Amino acid sequence: MDYSGNTPLQQKKMLAEIGLRSLDELFQSIPEGVKLKSSLNLPKQLSEIELVRELKDLADKNKSTSDYSLFLGGGYYDHFVPSALKYLIGRPEFYTAYTPYQAEASQGILQAIYEYQTFITLLTGMEVSNASLYDGATALAEAAFMAVRINKRNTILAAQTLHPEYLAVLKTYLAGLDLTLRVIPHNEGKVDLKELKNYLNKDVSAVILPQPNFFGIFEEGEKTASLARKNGSLCIASVDPISLGIISPPGKWGADIVVGEGQALGSGLNFGGPGLGFIACRMEFMRKIPGRLAGKTRDERGKTGYVLTLQTREQHIRREKATSNICSNHALSALAAAIYLSLLGKNGLRKTAELCLGKAHYLSEKIAEIPGYELKFQKPFFKEFVISSPHPVSKINRKLLENKIIGGLDLERFYPVFKNCMLLAVTEKRTKEEIDKLVKVLKSL
Amino acid sequence: MDYSGNTPLQQKKMLAEIGLRSLDELFQSIPEGVKLKSSLNLPKQLSEIELVRELKDLADKNKSTSDYSLFLGGGYYDHFVPSALKYLIGRPEFYTAYTPYQAEASQGILQAIYEYQTFITLLTGMEVSNASLYDGATALAEAAFMAVRINKRNTILAAQTLHPEYLAVLKTYLAGLDLTLRVIPHNEGKVDLKELKNYLNKDVSAVILPQPNFFGIFEEGEKTASLARKNGSLCIASVDPISLGIISPPGKWGADIVVGEGQALGSGLNFGGPGLGFIACRMEFMRKIPGRLAGKTRDERGKTGYVLTLQTREQHIRREKATSNICSNHALSALAAAIYLSLLGKNGLRKTAELCLGKAHYLSEKIAEIPGYELKFQKPFFKEFVISSPHPVSKINRKLLENKIIGGLDLERFYPVFKNCMLLAVTEKRTKEEIDKLVKVLKSL
Amino acid sequence: MSKLIFEKGACGRNGISLPEMDVPFQGVGGLIPKNLLRKELPLPELSEPEVVRHYTNLSKLNFSVDGNFYPLGSCTMKYNPKINEELAALPGFTQLHPYQGEESVQGALELMYNLEKNLSEIVGMERMTLQPAAGAHGELTGILMLRAFFKDKGESRKKIIIPDASHGTNPASAVLGGFEIVEVATDNSGGIDIEALKKVMNEEAACLMLTNPSTLGLFEENILEVSSIVHKAGGLLYGDGANLNALLGKARFGDMGFDLVHLNLHKTFAAPHGGGGPGGGPLGVKKQLIPYLPVPLVDRQGGRFFLNYDLPGSIGRMRSFYGNFLVMLKAYVYILSLGEEGLRKAAENAVLNANYLRAKLKDYYELPYKKICLHEVIFSGSRQKAKGVRTLDIAKRLIDFGMHPPTIYFPLNVPEALMIEPTETETKETLDYFIEIMKRIAGEAEENPQLLHQAPHNAPVGRLDEAKAAREIDVAWQASG
Amino acid sequence: MSKLIFEKGACGRNGISLPEMDVPFQGVGGLIPKNLLRKELPLPELSEPEVVRHYTNLSKLNFSVDGNFYPLGSCTMKYNPKINEELAALPGFTQLHPYQGEESVQGALELMYNLEKNLSEIVGMERMTLQPAAGAHGELTGILMLRAFFKDKGESRKKIIIPDASHGTNPASAVLGGFEIVEVATDNSGGIDIEALKKVMNEEAACLMLTNPSTLGLFEENILEVSSIVHKAGGLLYGDGANLNALLGKARFGDMGFDLVHLNLHKTFAAPHGGGGPGGGPLGVKKQLIPYLPVPLVDRQGGRFFLNYDLPGSIGRMRSFYGNFLVMLKAYVYILSLGEEGLRKAAENAVLNANYLRAKLKDYYELPYKKICLHEVIFSGSRQKAKGVRTLDIAKRLIDFGMHPPTIYFPLNVPEALMIEPTETETKETLDYFIEIMKRIAGEAEENPQLLHQAPHNAPVGRLDEAKAAREIDVAWQASG
Ligand SMILES: Cc1ncc(COP(=O)(O)O)c(C=O)c1O
Ligand SMILES: Cc1ncc(COP(=O)(O)O)c(C=O)c1O
């Protein structure tokens, strides 16, 4: 099935109009030396019936949350995706369109992006959001670049309690521009503010703080931001959008740029992608923000409409002077986020956050009651927490999997010192029954 | 989740506008004696997350063709439903609309119905198709009523090789109008034309012939139609639309009315419904056809458009004098059929029919090679055939199920004389591998 | 209008890729007698992108609940929840063959069993058949059952009484069941004319078919008296439950004296109408009618569900297999989503919305029955008619404002009827917009009738010529043109 | 324009039903320090039907491939097969957490492994990372890798050479990798200016970033010479493979001398663009660059697939997790659907369609490069400009006929550029309609320029004021107004 439109007869007619005799002649500009002569080593073409079977077989080799109870987090969470959302982002008017370069033919996606941008500002307490970035990690890297563009300093301080993969991405990105990355150590699961003070100096462009952090623990946002401000540095917050249903928004506690992974806002798990990178900032930094921005305007008759605006920041106009190289972004995931927040609304988001909070704490308490297990850090947390256990995490997870449970993250993978430590996440989707079953399996070990 | 729009505050305001003080007062016309006082015994309300789990649990209690190889037919077949079709009938513009009473706001579905009607005429070789009926069985009953309206005779002859459930429905329906149903016996799986002649008399309104019949076998359409015509009776054909990819259409061999189950045309299995009833006839009988008809017309500016036409045949205008009581039909299934036939087109339908034919014959030959098994009727068939086996069908099917195969229909259920006889169907979806596996299991018994 | 699918495509194009024949195949000719072979197959040839674009663009010409206010009276065009659609697409439901062994479809049977229980409870009936494919099909089922019932009793009752305001399917179904129709009038208050009923309800009458709330949007206030008149005369009381939406959790057919009632799952229970169907028209009955229910029923033995064909008195089968299973599933999910509380709230808001429209529009349009209505409100366009503007014109003008017109010219006993059923899923804001436009149209009827005669102005087509369609019949495209 | 979602809704409405808290819960205050608690959450409150209607109606304001011809140059707006979407929605793929143990995601890993193999084969590269989320992201990945490569070699090459016709992401990515840009001109025939290249391709230049076919829709005919110039000077040849669609099964980047190349799965491999993304921008490399690929790669040991983090020379991570998995899946399904034969046919038809447009329109619009093109054809609106009609006007006028405009004003070296990429999934009939309209517009430019200046006339909005948008910045709704 090649989906091509022209029949052999039409091809003939068209070639005649072009003045050629064969399809081969169309490719005459390709030098003989590089023309592909042999055939490619590709799998055999499949009909749709066969394709369905083939992919179903692959899918069946995976253990998905539709059959397993998932307690994994670490930056990606099993939050509920409303059915209405799936249907709406499935409208081909949205998903088979390109970036809305031609505004008059793209008002649907443009207004939706404008709404998305507004949602992000409302959620984060910031004034400007762009139209989306790839994911939370690259959004963070873009924020770091942005800070450097703003204050022309060359060092980024990042909390050690950041997602380890975000730290890794930061490192890769910053290396490109010869910027310095310094990691502020944590103390019992939380940034050590005394250490932070030591790291601050006139080269520091920005301080990056996760809220809550990789261990699920709340950081001292206000103090951190204030320390940064006093040093003439910016404060970049990396947040969990669901937590913002109950937690004070970074705009309130002094962050200058806010980024995060928006996968929780209606994108689902997808084995890690696509998710959604969001970035928002204060008004004064608007012209430094990377990526696309939808803005409101009017047509000749005075009717309201939306366009991509401030494109002079972008690569297709400014080329090497652009604020970023990003071109395609995650518009459809942004649309999903807008729809998600529309459906949940004020009450739904708050209740979702509360369910996560309540259930996570219930699980943490139940586990802490099991002899040999304990909560690694005794600090307030949101929906994720670290337990230390008497057994290797791999052993626990094997046992859990047998019981149709996908257990937590083995922290040793990222922090060799955290032996037998597991990061567990609980979302609104988990039931008491599932939680109790997990506890029961742990007890049985 | 009640999906209601009004908030309590709005309810108050609206009540005030109406001049009432409470919602209860809205129901004051219900006499106290019948007002519901107690609460209903209904299951507890579920959130969407819980609903998904609940229904998934129910679904998991079923064994579906996504995990099992199906060889069941008997009027409902596991034909391929193209993905594009599913997406198109999933457009809410189609499925959340009502019957197109207001043509100017319903041109999409009206044109689609007009196209569906055309497809059915092209497929059957008839001149008029209605906009759909419920299913193949009720379509047949409607056709019988139609014949009676046309020639005012009171007896319907139906082949014994018709689907037993169609015969049952005919019986129920005809009883309402005190019409007589007589069943023409078969001889070795095919209508006995000599018997038919015996049954024909001046009371016979129509002769009903399946093509192919319930055993998959081809009947003598031309001879049957000609006998009916000579007797002043009509010939009603009940056909498998897929077979019409390679089999001469009833319009060619003399049928006057053609009906059938259109489930194969893109509706899927659905545990038996919804499917699609189709009915088509010669032009001269158009005004006697039941149900809706979409017709072409123009607007005031001369632009082509479509409307429901000849509504004076219908119950909402003619009430008790209507050609049928049908109001809601199976419009969405008709749309599916139109899309199915658009996607398959000339070559696709022919190839589908050929695949069924070829694979069914391959299976029949392989089974006939197994000692003790034989083809019950030695006659040309399409995609379905009867085998007689040395074992009870229930035993065979139990064994097959263990091997992830859903076996054929136990014919004894409908024909007590056919002991150990199984009706097997093979569609284009079955692979040689699946067929060989079935044969292997039979051999192992 | 857009080109027909038959005017698109090109010879040799394919919209599908099928597997190769993987078994030995001698060709069609070797397996099928020559005289049976098809010579020409005059179907179009299109690519998948072509077909997708064609039907996608056709869909855009339709109004629908997802896009528009759709207050089509008697049709209960409420929102169709997406979760219902999602769950009805699970392979564990869609990919089941109706003849699979019961042990392999326990989930499907359990669902049907539960749905029957729930629906029976909601309407106060003893048992229910889920087989009927639509409301009219449910009616016919009921008619055939009561015919069998009276036959068993040795009574020959040949008539069925039907109010003049009833839906056309009622008399049509009764006739298909072999009965004669006796029409009774609606009285001034919108109820059935009791005196007229008494006159015709005799030993010749098998039943009164009553729609409650009626197609006037009114509860039959004398229902208990009506019921007793019918039953005293030895008849049965049949309920057309198409308007159940107004009564959810408020009153039950069984408690009002109805002996049998059909529902429309594609109205009250939020299954989508699909541009005309498929629907679901289950029929519930009181005890004495159970023996006549069509086969099979879903029953339970211990923990096991099974298809029960063992009903010797059954009228037989009303269709193949067990009914529109996926429609049942959507209704079931709907009941679980709402629960009793939600169902009651739905009824309350549906009735509130209708009365709000009544209160706000009654100064602009003639209101034939000046009282609180239930799920829908019926106006008459008689005032506008006097100015030369018909209800049809008003309806078409609404299209210009992106709203689907109400049902018009029904019920028949109201001249120039406008039957408006907003449903509970619409918001006050939407109603206020509708009210604003209806007022505006009332003004236009005074000042600029021409504008209304020529409406719609912004639709994909202008006013279509229905007379021409019926005169120069063209119901299928022909290759010649 | 339609109201914003924030202007809809009402206090107390809900668009979702969540489960009740089923564990003991002491309230938020008991678990979170007071100073961390949020006081106000200024989100709207809407019902599900309201949200569905809002976004359904918004969607209708969009042009899309499913509804419209969309010949946006350089974007390869081919049809996105529905089967790809269906399979990408299987729970066995969507409901996988990226940190699940490898044993529980073997199907997902196998798919990635196979896709990498297939893509590498198609472009003639040794290995590939599937991590980049889009083309630009792939570019940056490549740039950082070659930086690491030269660092390991102890060479300090600070410049990257980029043709003037290149896409803006090329220089932007190079700069993010710490390089300076050296621009080279396009020669009269549309190729890279060889003499200019020779001048700048020295020991300071790390690489030439070359788009092939170029953004002029032309194959770089001197590619072998170019490659040898670059390599002789010790540089690397980077390929922007955004236009691979023209070369599928016809020629391979590896065979032309490219050392690394990125692809756009959301162009060539039919993954939908989603109104802007998400996409997929895998990067393929020759052997010497493998050590620098980002981690993890998917590798195989016996029958088991695993995530390989053991690449000591790796540049590290380019994003979290493994890339846009569902986009990969769609590309994989696409490759399986088409097979080699189908891929080649796609390229042939894409090129045929572009040349057909070229042949039929060249008398009406200025054709800067008068030769056979590949997947797209570039015209200049210079003739029309002379009459006071800009390319922008022509583009907007196309909207009136239901067709999305081509890419305009790109590439930068063509004045008033119109970059038309029809793709292979469009039919001759659609092209003929486009040609007819383009001719008509050329006529209008002569006779009625005003009509074009004011276009579009039939769109949901008229010509929008972009200057105002940039001047009076409003990028988020505010409660006050
Ligand atoms: C009052 C009433 N009764 C019966 C029916 C018939 O229902 P169906 O269309 O499902 O056959 C309708 C449908 O419009 C109705 O409104
Ligand atoms: C030639 C070329 N290079 C690179 C890109 C950037 O790709 P992406 O938008 O996926 O980042 C594009 C996209 O338009 C392109 O056309």
User: D242 CB less than 6 Å from ligand 2?
Assistant: yes
Residue D51, pLDDT > 90, answer yes
What pairing do the DSSP bridges indicate for beta strands B204-211 and B186-187?
A: unpaired
Q: What's the pLDDT at C148?
A: 97
The amino acid that residue B388 corresponds to is S
| Average of per-residue pLDDT across A272-276 | 97
Cis peptide before C411 (omega within 30 of 0): yes
Three-class SS string for B183-238? EECEECCEECHHHHHHHCCCCEEEEEEEECCCCCECCCHHHHHHHHHHCCCEEEEE
Please tell me which of the candidates B307, B345, B354 has its beta carbon nearest to residue C466: B307
Residue nearest to atom 5 of ligand 2 (CA): D135
pLDDT in tens, D377-389: 999 999 999 999 9
Which chains pack against D, by 3+ Cβ pairs within 8 A? A, B, C
Q: Which of A46-50, A316-320, B103-107, D341-345 has the lowest mean pLDDT?
A: A316-320
**Do residues A424 and A396 make contact, with C-beta atoms less than 8 angstroms apart?**
no
Whether D252 lines ligand 2, by a CB cut-off of 6 Å, is: no
Q: How far is the CA of B139 from the CAs of A26, B142, B263, B283, C161, in angstroms?
A: 55, 5, 13, 18, 28
Cα(D135) to ligand 2 centroid in Å equals 5
Question: Least CB-CB distance to C463: which of B245, B299, B315?
Answer: B299
C-alpha span between B286 and C176 (Å, rounded): 20
> What is the reported pLDDT for B237?
98
Q: What is the pLDDT of residue A318?
A: 78
Is there an atom of ligand 2 within 6 Å of D213 CB?
no
Q: Do D11 and B9 touch (CB under 8 A)?
A: yes
Restricting to C residues 69-128, those with a Cβ less than 8 Å away from any Cβ of B are 70, 72, 75, 77-81, 83, 85-87, 89-101, 104-108, 110-111, 114, 118, 121-122
**Chain B residues with CB-CB distance to A354 below 8 A:** none
Q: Measured in Å, how far apart are chain B's first and last C-alpha atoms?
A: 53
pLDDT above 80 (res A51): yes
φ, ψ (nearest 5 deg) of residue A75: 100, -10
Shortest CA distance from B48: residue in chain D: D17
pLDDT at B206: 98
Are A4 and C47 a contacting pair at CB < 8 A?
yes
Contacts of D81 in chain B (CB under 8 A): 83-84
Residue C261 DSSP label: E
Give the mean model confidence (pLDDT) for residues D145-153: 97
Other beta carbons within 10 Å of C414: 24
Helix ranges restricted to H, C135-276: 135-152, 169-176, 194-200, 223-232, 253-256
Contact D429 C81 (CB under 8 A): no
Overall average pLDDT of the D6-15 stretch: 96
Q: Does A350 touch chain D (CB under 8 A)?
A: yes
Angle at C263 between CA C257 and CA C267, to 5 degrees: 135
* Residue to substitute in C74, C209, C423 for testing ligand 1 pocket (most ligand atoms within 8 angstroms of CB): C74
Measured in Å, residue A235 CA sits from the centre of ligand 1 at: 64
With 70 as the cut, is the pLDDT of residue D480 above it?
A: no
With a CB-CB cutoff of 8 Å, which residues 117-156 of chain B face chain C?
Answer: 117-119, 121-123, 127-129, 131-132, 134-138, 145
The CA distances from residue D78 to D334, D409, D424, in Å, are: 12, 22, 7
Between the two ends of chain A, the Cα-to-Cα distance in Å is 53
What's the pLDDT band for B301 if we cut at 50, 70, 90? very high
Tell whether the model's pLDDT for residue D30 goes beyond 80. Answer: yes
CA distance C44 to chain A (A): 14
For ligand 2, pick from D72, D139, D166, D169 the residue to mutate: most ligand atoms within 8 Å of CB: D169
The minimum CA-CA distance between D153 and chain A, rounded to whole Å, is 17
What's the sign of the alpha-carbon dihedral D268, D272, D275, D277? negative
Task: Tell me the backbone φ, ψ of residue C209, rounded to 5 degrees.
Answer: -100, 110
Structure tokens at D116: 């990498």
Main-chain phi, psi angles of D275, to 5 degrees: 70, 20
Residue with tokens 């006995």: B192
Residue A43 CB neighbours (<10 A): 15
Between the alpha carbon of residue C394 and those of residues B153, C380, C383, C417, D326, the distances in Å are 46, 11, 12, 11, 50
Q: What average pLDDT does range C423-452 have in this prediction? A: 98
Report whether D375 contacts D268 (CB < 8 A). Answer: no
Q: Is the pLDDT of residue B317 over 90?
A: no
Of the partner residues C20, C47, C83, the one whose CB lies closest to the CB of residue A83: C83
Which pLDDT belongs to residue C481? 44
Give the pLDDT of residue D481. Answer: 44
Cβ-based contacts under 8 A for chains B and C: 710
pTM over 0.90: yes
For residues C173 and C144, is the Cβ–Cβ distance under 8 A?
A: no
In this structure, what are the phi and psi dihedrals at residue D477, rounded to the nearest 5 degrees?
A: -70, 145
Average pLDDT, chain B: 97
Query: pLDDT (tens digit, 9 = 90+) per residue, D319-369?
Result: 999 999 999 999 999 999 999 999 999 999 999 999 999 999 999 999 999
- Burial zone of D4 (CB within 10 Å; 0-12 exposed, 13-18 middle, 19+ buried): middle
3-class SS at A137? helix
pLDDT on residue C480: 63
Residues whose CB is less than 8 angstroms from the CB of residue D388 and which lie 6 or more positions away in sequence, other chains included: D449
Average pLDDT over every residue of D102-107: 98
Which DSSP state fits B90?
T
Could you give phi then psi for residue B410, rounded to 5 degrees?
Answer: -75, 110
Instruction: Please give the average per-residue pLDDT across C207-234, as a whole number.
Output: 98
Instruction: Tell me the pLDDT tens digit for each residue of C56-97.
Output: 999 999 999 999 999 999 999 999 999 999 999 999 999 999
Distances (CA, A) of C229 to B237, C158, C226, C259: 47, 18, 5, 14
Shortest distance between the Cα of D58 and any Cα of chain B, in A, equals: 14
Q: D212 Cβ partners below 8 Å, 6+ apart?
A: D219, D220, D223, D239, D240, D241, D243, D247, D253, D256, D258
Residue D267 CA, closest ligand 2 atom number: 10
**Ligand 2 pocket, residue D240 CB under 6 Å:** yes
Quick check: helix, strand or coil at residue C305? strand
The CA distance from A365 to A359, in Å, is 10
Residue C83 to residue C271: CA distance in whole angstroms: 11
Least distant ligand from the CA of C274: 1
How confident is the model at residue C1, as a pLDDT?
A: 47
Q: Is the peptide bond before D411 cis (omega within 30 degrees of 0)?
A: yes
Burial class (CB in 10 A: 0-12, 13-18, 19+), D152: exposed
Q: Output the DSSP codes for D290-305.
A: GGGSPSPEEEEETTEE
Residues of chain B neighbouring A429 (CB-CB closer than 8 A): 49
Does B311 score more than 90 pLDDT? Answer: no
Helices in A294-418 by DSSP H: which ranges? 315-318, 331-368, 393-402
Q: What is the pLDDT of residue A314?
A: 77
Residue B173 contacts residue B202 (beta carbons within 8 Å): no
Give the largest Cα separation in chain C, rounded.
78
Q: Residues C315-349, buried b or exposed e (16+ Cβ, 10 A)?
A: bbbbbbbbbbbbbbbbbbbbbbbbbbebbbbbbbb
What residues of chain B lie within 8 A of the CB of A92, using their CB? 87
Q: How far apart are CA C417 and CA C381, in angstroms?
A: 6
C61 inside 8 A of chain B by CB: yes
Which of C11, C47, C49 lies nearest to residue A9, judging by beta carbons?
C11
> What mean pLDDT, rounded, does chain D reach?
97
- List residues near ligand 1 (CB under 6 A): B 327-328; C 74-75, 134-136, 167, 169, 211, 215, 240, 242, 264, 279, 281
Give me the pLDDT at residue D10, please. Answer: 96
Closest Cα partner for D178 from A323, A177, A315, A153? A177
Give the span between the Cα atoms of D410 and C147, in whole angstroms.
78
Q: Are B346 and B162 spatial neighbours (Cβ–Cβ below 8 Å)?
A: no
ipTM for this model: 0.98
